[in-house]
Structure 1
Amino acid sequence: MLLGPLVPDRVCGDCTVCCTVLTVNSPDFAKPGGVPCQHLTERGCGIHAVRPTICRTWFCAWRRVAELPDAARPDRSGLLVSMNFVDRPANLFEGVSILVRLLPGSDAIRSGLAARLLDTLCAQLVPVWFSDGAEKMLMHPPADVAQLVLSGEPAPGHLAEEVAAWRERYAVFADGSPPATG
């Protein structure tokens, strides 16, 4: 619930982006990413009334973050924003984060929608990643803060409080050693 409860009056409607883009590997259902769900029909989910638990409980950020504009619905924006959970993260910013995926054919970068959406999402103490399908880039925290958090080096005075907050919040995803303070 890091992104909050569902926003009233926001429904998926005919958006089925998650049914194609996401990798699903849950106890009651699995499908590879980038492949339409076997239950997806021209009118949406063919088993909606009895769909698996993961499909009943997973919602994109557009459904949960009131500050995102209506234009940010994935099928309209070309951006799928979701919480990302990684069992064995490469670094502490990957364990629990927000992932903004640019969908093929999207003009969200050119239109400026991607930048506006990232500005909204980067206002919290939650890592934000952006993926264009080929590359995944850390957008938040800023590079200087991220480098200090990961390196354990002492932070300069103007960054000390922010670096300490990130280290404290995400220490559980560190390599097993206690987080450095600075």
Structure 2
Amino acid sequence: MADHPDLETLLLGPVLPDRECGGCTACCVTLKVDTPDLKKPAGTPCPQLSATGCSIHAVRPTICRTWFCAWRRVAALPDEARPDRSGLIVSVSFNRAARHPFEAIALTVLALPGSKAVASGMAAHVLDALCDRPIAVWFSDGQRKMLMHPENDVSQIVLSGAEAPPQLAAEVALWRQQYAAFLA
């Protein structure tokens, strides 16, 4: 039986062979981890993180072996978009208790503390590279969370169930199909 790709691979593609984390440890600090092997709150360094990286890299938990940020998977993101260089970390978000259908499965672009990604234009570049597929994209600066894709006019029609104007009909139909399970 063939291996089935995980949802992150389906949404973002496989891990790119020519991209390595290198000295980037943004995920080790920024992200919340709640697995049987490792639990840590968001914004808190992993207890295994040392000045030189992961102190247990050879035997790190499964989540650390299998999770990769979007920079490791999306070729359209430039080298400068690596989280430690760009001040942005991009991940697939799964939210079982979503208040909004587009929060259920989405890409989240999170500006790291002290990030200058908005001012430098890197945030716009990353968003442009991600907003080309039918998956919701959110941007968060740590204080606010904003839906960036689909655009507001499309998202309002999708969520309201209203009939789409002709120029948006195909796009609205695509989003409704993609998020049908969360719109019911």
What's the TM-score, normalizing by structure 2?
0.93
Partner AA of 2:121 in structure 1: G
Q: Using the alignment, how far apart are the partners of 2:71 and 2:162 within structure 1?
A: 36
Partner in structure 2 of residue 180 of structure 1: none
Q: Using the alignment, how far apart are the partners of 1:105 and 1:98 within structure 2?
A: 21
Partner in structure 1 of residue 3 of structure 2: none
Shift of 1:8: 1.6
Partner in structure 1 of residue 28 of structure 2: 19
- Quick one: which of 122, 136, 140 aligns to 2:145? 136
Q: Does 1:42 align with 2:14?
A: no
Q: Using the alignment, how far apart are the partners of 1:146 and 1:138 within structure 2?
A: 9
Gaps of 5+ in 1: 178-182
Q: Does the residue aligned with 1:87 lie in a helix, a strand or coil?
A: coil
Query: Equivalences for 1:108-127 in 2 at 5 Å?
Result: 108-127=117-136
Partner in structure 1 of residue 168 of structure 2: 159
Q: Using the alignment, how far apart are the partners of 1:61 and 1:31 within structure 2?
A: 21
1:30-68 Cα shifts (integer Å, max 9, x gaps): 100000000000010011111111111000000000110
Shift of 1:173: 1.6
Shift of 1:107: 1.1
Q: Alignment identity in percent?
A: 61
More helix as a share of residues: 2
Instruction: Calculate the aligned-residue CA RMSD, in Å.
Output: 0.7
- Quick one: which of 6, 10, 21 aligns to 2:19? 10
Gaps of 5+ in 2: 1-8
Partner AA of 1:37 in structure 2: C
- Quick one: which of 69, 73, 79 aligns to 1:64? 73
- Quick one: which of 102, 107, 116 aligns to 1:107? 116
> Does structure 2 retain, via aligned residues, the 8 Å contact 1:78–1:105?
yes
